Structure 1
Amino acid sequence: MLTDFPFYLSLTFLILLLIMLSRKIRVAYPVVLVLAGLAISFIPGLPALHIESELIFVLFLPPLLFEAAWQISWKELWRWRRIIGSFAFLVVFFSAFTVALTVNYFIPGFSLALGFLLGAIVSPPDAVSAGAILKLVKVPKRVSYILEGESLLNDASSLIIFRFALIAVATGNFVWRDAALSLVWMLSGGIGIGLVIGYILMKSQKFLPTDANIDTILTILAPYIMYMVAESVHSSGVLAVVSGGLLLSNYRFVFLSSASRLRGLNVWESLSFVMNGLVFMFIGLDLPQITAGLEGVSIYTATGYGLLVTGVLIFGRILSSFAAVFVTLIARNFITVADPRHPGYKLPFLMGWSGMRGVVSLAAALSIPVYLADGSAFPQRNLILFITFVVILLTLVVQGLSLPLLIKKLDLKDTDHMESEEEIYNEIKKQVSLHALDYLNTHYNEQLSSQPVLQQIAYKWQHANQSTEGILMNEESRTVYRDLIIQQRKWLIDKNNKDGDVDEEMIRRHLLYLDLEEERMQFV
């Protein structure tokens, strides 16, 4: 391992250069990294890269899911819960089902159980790819929220199907009652374990004498603990991490200090950045391992199978997107839906095209055992691996490169937020400044009269200027200002919870500013 250390060190440095290049040419970095890894894999003399599925499932997946759950808006997740649930569960099952039927009919030796196994592997779209692309172009916020929410849950649903299909292939039978009971336990157990561990961690960090460094390390350990505990009792580790991450994220202002939130934000951004870069580079570098085991079928025939499965997945997702719109238009006559307006054809087509596959699919394929319990080789394992690689490569490159062009061509308008982000931000800044000014006049009128520093702050707030840079404070004014920061934070959180139309991203920007102000007070 130490002899290959310079190679991995150089690989990490190369990833950073490639990500900078992708920003320069405005191409999503997952696409650039996969293609670069593919090109590097052909260089003779390089150390052979052997990726273990446990490396992805245990080392990479929990923190990446946790970070995504931490960043997503719970309010928007709940608002779009029906469409997110449809994509994360129904569309994943439909994709697995159509793939199973297709390969059972067209590929010799593929049973329905093997087809469902392959379908479960390639059915979940990758969130990182779509997120990286959406940062390059402007899309309605609802699209980002739905894709982010879907990505949190579709890994769990696909891995559940994968587990059942694996049992069916290995045993040759499938008992529906046992499967139903297992499904209930996987869902309820995973969610429950994540919430319990999250609650224990939250209470521990609130009442124990922790600091910013300890809090940050605990949040890094949390997803691993949630995932491994859930998997050890055969429930869903993915759902455990997601539910626990959502709980901790929702209460971050209760049990974490401003220093812990700021330190954790910086650490998690760097950690997820490096991990995402590595996993996409690994996908391209893994080509020699995948093609080496391809036997009994030519690479051209196997590529054709990969093209077939990719086409079925893309067409099936687009069809599912329009079907979801159709169901929503019918459902609005009977229940309250998040948005009763007709979305037209642009939004569902964009959602359908945003289906790039990624690291979870590769990890699931690699986790297929080499041998069955009786010692015989697992049927079609190498072909499943190769088809999975082709699906990942094609969806990342074809859809990943064309998605920005498609978004610009569709020219979708954000009907939820007609004002610009700057206008929304300034309006919230004005409101929170007026609230703080009113609180200052009501609760600290005497100090306001005697403290010129507070008068300076009040003057700035009257003109919607929150900055206190350059203002020197004494201890009494610091105490008052800290209380004002707390009151502004409470007002922002309350507004976000009660006002369903306010953009939570803008609220979080203001909350981040207050955290920075609170920390700056230590040095003023």
Structure 2
Amino acid sequence: MHSIEVVLAMLLAVIGSGYLVRVLPFSLPLPLVQIGLGAAIAGMSGSAVTLDPAIFFLLFLPPLLFLDGWRIPKEGLFRDRAMILELALGLVVFTVVGVGLLIHWLIPAMPLAVAFALAAIVSPTDPVAVSSIAARVPIPKRLMHILEGESLLNDASGLVCFRFAVAAAMTGGFSLATASLTFLWVALAGLAVGVGFTWGVSLAQRWLSRQFGEESGSPILISLLIPFGAYLIAEHLQASGILAAVSAGITMSYVELSGRALATTRVQRAAVWDTVQFSLNGIVFVLLGEQLPAILSSAATTVRESGHLNPGWLVVYALAINLGLALLRFVWVWVSLRWGMWTAQRRGEPVKRPHWRLVAATSLAGVRGAITLAGVLTLPLALPDGTPFPARDLAVFLAMAVILLSLLAASIALPRLLKGLEVPPEPAERHEEDLARLEAGRAAIAAIQEAQHALSEQAGTDAELYVSAATRAMETYQRRLDGSAGGVEAEKLRRADTAERALRLAGLRAEREALFSLARHRRISDETSRRLVRELDLMESRLVEPASRKG
């Protein structure tokens, strides 16, 4: 099968997986379905795609991590920064040491440095898989924010540990001082590159737009290229391209606060990025499945490398490594929460002990994914003296097994752990939303009054028309301000807004059907139909989004 055909087959698999996961009589997370379809593609094509890890990292990771950094709630990221850093840095080192020693004890034929390398590459977690698993039983928001923040940062720390473990296996030496300094450079330089590059591109784009104008698609294309630019510059400087992409996304969210982008640009850009995210996430897991048959075919080699004749030992190793990862994560999370509660009590803050199921869910949510597979495939084929790299095939097989088993364990256990679980209340989102609507309403009324006076002076005898129009325009905002005091009246106004939204949606949909009918009967042109339908779509999107968020 040619490369283009393979790519098209993978895209079709991504589309089909979305439907297949809904028609299956039993519940399966989307990533597992996509992995299965990828394995089917490999079986039909007869050969696996040669997965170049460097190209894989470049094509898939920067845009996905950039978007995660862009959309992750910053308040939650900074509020829980201590917990996130403990998981992203401390837990990675704890995992590398603990699981590395476990692997070397289980498989003495695997050198200690290779065991540490395998432990390092299975330490980063994959938020995409967790989000897919939790789609039907939503993870509490605060926990999801912690997991997302952890996964954005632990990729870099895991890969740095992996790099030094591989270097120790190749050279037979390791320097803690050198490793620490290198980690600081990799992390800090990567973060700085992402921030500086994004700000520089944004300022340049703003200056060019003021001087020469721009096409409507230019800002969208620039946003797509920013993560690749930040990643490549950081990698060229021997820094973390992953952290550069993450920090570029976080910086982009602050650039957006300037409000300089047009509303239509934001709507179109969101649609483009949603499509990119859906496609790349799906292809990543399809690729994982596509590599599965080739990895399984090397099982005979991995059995010989482990020093056993029975292939059942491979299953024992995979289960033991997954159990070790889960137990170490549970211990780390439990100790971190206890430490946090103790420090909060010392500061005199109220403390509520989290439910044990929440701690267990946090531990099981450490699902491995694309970075684990791509990273383990970068293991060298040979040592400097030309001899084969020790236990390479075994390490690749075990990394793939960890991905599959962690997905299965989370998909089975997480919904049961989280079902019906009462979690600590989130910060008062309703209060924040009401405050925002109130301030925005006041600003809108002031702007309408100012615009009305200016237009009335220009209109002369038609000034009454502008007064009437301004009164109608201010009605909605004034009703919002009248209900700002809260209580029963405010709740009635919210229900009235919901009813009004439903009625306006019905009217908009009837308008759209009428426009389509006119276009089908050639009473209006296609161009006119598209323009008017576009206006209705934008109006409907503003009405549907608040309703879906409340639902």
SS of residue in 1 equivalent to 2:136: coil
Residues 1:354 and 2:358 aligned together: no
Residues 70/371 of structure 1: CA separation in 2 closer, same or farther (3 Å cut): same
Residues 1:310 and 2:322 aligned together: yes
Residue 458 of structure 1 corresponds to: 474
Q: 1:217 aligns with which of 211, 216, 221?
A: 221
Residue 280 of structure 1 corresponds to: 285
Deviation digits for residues 287-335 of structure 1, max 9, x if unmatched?
Answer: 2222344412453222321111111111111222111111111221455
Residue 422 of structure 2 corresponds to: 412
Answer whether contact 1:96 1:116 (CA < 8 A) is retained: yes
Deviation digits for residues 124-161 of structure 1, max 9, x if unmatched?
Answer: 11110111223322332101111111111111111111
Deviation digits for residues 207-244 of structure 1, max 9, x if unmatched?
Answer: 11234311111111111111111111211111111111
Residue 19 of structure 1 corresponds to: 18
**1:248 Cα deviation after fit:** 1.2
Answer whether contact 1:49 1:289 (CA < 8 A) is retained: no
TM-score by length of 1: 0.82
CA distance in 2 between counterparts of 1:437 and 1:213 reads: 29
Which aligned pairs between 1:336-351 and structure 2 lie closer than 5 A? 340-351=351-362
Residue type of the alignment partner of 2:328: G
Residues 1:300 and 2:305 aligned together: no
**1:177 Cα deviation after fit:** 2.0
Q: 1:431 aligns with which of 435, 438, 443?
A: 438
Which stretch shifts more, 445-454 or 218-227? 445-454
Residue 50 of structure 2 corresponds to: 50
Residue 379 of structure 1 corresponds to: 390
Residue type of the alignment partner of 2:10: L
Residue 205 of structure 2 corresponds to: 205
Residue 485 of structure 2 corresponds to: none
SS of residue in 2 equivalent to 1:369: coil
Deviation digits for residues 10-39 of structure 1, max 9, x if unmatched?
Answer: 332122111222245564311221233345
**1:121 Cα deviation after fit:** 0.8
Which aligned pairs between 1:121-270 and structure 2 lie closer than 5 A? 121-209=121-209, 210-254=214-258, 255-270=260-275
**1:444 Cα deviation after fit:** 4.9
CA distance in 2 between counterparts of 1:189 and 1:249 reads: 20
Residue type of the alignment partner of 2:337: V
Structure 1, gaps ≥5 residues long? 472-509, 517-524
Which stretch shifts more, 126-135 or 60-69? 126-135
Residues 435/28 of structure 1: CA separation in 2 closer, same or farther (3 Å cut): farther
Answer whether contact 1:141 1:414 (CA < 8 A) is retained: no
Which aligned pairs between 1:501-520 and structure 2 lie closer than 5 A? 513=542
Deviation digits for residues 363-409 of structure 1, max 9, x if unmatched?
Answer: 00011111122222111111000000100011112212331222115
Which aligned pairs between 1:465-476 and structure 2 lie closer than 5 A? none
CA distance in 2 between counterparts of 1:76 and 1:425 reads: 14
Residue type of the alignment partner of 2:62: P
CA distance in 2 between counterparts of 1:388 and 1:44 reads: 24
Structure 2, gaps ≥5 residues long? 457-463, 481-496, 509-538, 546-551
Residue 401 of structure 1 corresponds to: 412
**1:206 Cα deviation after fit:** 1.5
CA distance in 1 between counterparts of 2:293 and 2:234 reads: 33
Answer whether contact 2:170 2:384 (CA < 8 A) is retained: yes
**1:74 Cα deviation after fit:** 1.4
Residues 199/430 of structure 1: CA separation in 2 closer, same or farther (3 Å cut): closer
Residues 61/433 of structure 1: CA separation in 2 closer, same or farther (3 Å cut): closer
SS of residue in 1 equivalent to 2:341: helix
Residues 194/334 of structure 1: CA separation in 2 closer, same or farther (3 Å cut): farther
CA distance in 2 between counterparts of 1:444 and 1:79 reads: 41
SS of residue in 2 equivalent to 1:398: helix
SS of residue in 1 equivalent to 2:217: helix
**1:437 Cα deviation after fit:** 5.0
SS of residue in 1 equivalent to 2:354: coil
Share of identical aligned residues, percent?
29
CA distance in 1 between counterparts of 2:200 and 2:351 reads: 40
Residue 35 of structure 1 corresponds to: 36
CA distance in 1 between counterparts of 2:427 and 2:280 reads: 33
Residues 1:6 and 2:22 aligned together: no
Answer whether contact 2:452 2:470 (CA < 8 A) is retained: no
Which stretch shifts more, 72-81 or 384-393? 72-81
CA distance in 2 between counterparts of 1:232 and 1:106 reads: 38
Greater gyration radius: 2
Residue type of the alignment partner of 1:317: R
Answer whether contact 1:190 1:237 (CA < 8 A) is retained: yes
Please give the root-mean-square deviation of Cα atoms over the aligned residues, in Å.
Answer: 2.9
Answer whether contact 2:357 2:418 (CA < 8 A) is retained: no
Residue type of the alignment partner of 2:423: K
Answer whether contact 2:70 2:249 (CA < 8 A) is retained: yes
Residue 88 of structure 1 corresponds to: 88
Answer whether contact 1:66 1:245 (CA < 8 A) is retained: yes
Residues 217/347 of structure 1: CA separation in 2 closer, same or farther (3 Å cut): same
CA distance in 2 between counterparts of 1:119 and 1:172 reads: 18
Answer whether contact 2:125 2:366 (CA < 8 A) is retained: yes
**1:342 Cα deviation after fit:** 2.3
CA distance in 2 between counterparts of 1:392 and 1:301 reads: 18
CA distance in 2 between counterparts of 1:204 and 1:7 reads: 39
CA distance in 2 between counterparts of 1:199 and 1:21 reads: 42
Answer whether contact 1:23 1:29 (CA < 8 A) is retained: no
Residues 336/376 of structure 1: CA separation in 2 closer, same or farther (3 Å cut): farther
Deviation digits for residues 56-112 of structure 1, max 9, x if unmatched?
Answer: 211111111011111101121001101111111111221121111101111022233
CA distance in 2 between counterparts of 1:376 and 1:331 reads: 52
Answer whether contact 1:137 1:404 (CA < 8 A) is retained: yes
Residues 174/109 of structure 1: CA separation in 2 closer, same or farther (3 Å cut): same
**1:440 Cα deviation after fit:** 4.0
